[in-house]
Amino acid sequence: MKLVFATNNAHKLTEARQILSDGVDVISLHDAGFDSDIEETGLTLEENASLKARTVFEATGLNCFADDTGLEVDALDGRPGVFSARYAGSGHNFSANVDKLLDELTNVENRKARFRTAISLILDGKEYLFEGIVNGEIMHERAGAGGFDRFRRNARGAGVDVPDVDG
């Protein structure tokens, strides 16, 4: 089965191909002939995942899936959530996102948080939604050195090792 992954993130595409290797041919947006940007205008992770998958399905007619992931911090009422990648502003500066998060958690004892991912899978026009959660807590100091993975390494999993994706 051929399945389009609605992402421009090469690392995510490689991971999906490894995970879904048995009988599933995961192809890129480019390989599916889709070269447009999809603006994430949803107010929830589910809305963004669905928006991306539906847009690709409608344009290509191919089975596809899309995801959206956010960091949800209890003490911040679930923020940054769907806005994780642009938490410090529209400049998408990941270092600034981590700085803002750590600043907001200064002197906060409850540092429980979770990474939550919503996945929209469209098969033959029917949409299926899935959710994955990794619980943990936000560390008190900066750790790591790259991109969104800074959030990942600033969250310490509760019994779950969060892999270093920078290699």
Residues designated catalytic:
68
Task: Answer yes or no: are the C-beta atoms of 129 and 119 closer than 8 Å.
Answer: yes
Question: Could you tell me the sign of the dihedral formed by the alpha carbons of 52, 56, 58, 61, in that order?
Answer: negative
Task: Answer yes or no: are the C-beta atoms of 84 and 90 closer than 8 Å.
Answer: no
Residue 35, Cα to own-chain centre: how many angstroms? 20
CA–CA separation, 65 and 82 (whole Å): 18
Q: What is the CA angle 69-94-32, rounded to 5? A: 50
Q: Which residue has the tokens 């939550």?
A: 116
Specify the amino acid at residue 7.
T
**At 12, is the secondary structure helix, strand, or coil?**
helix
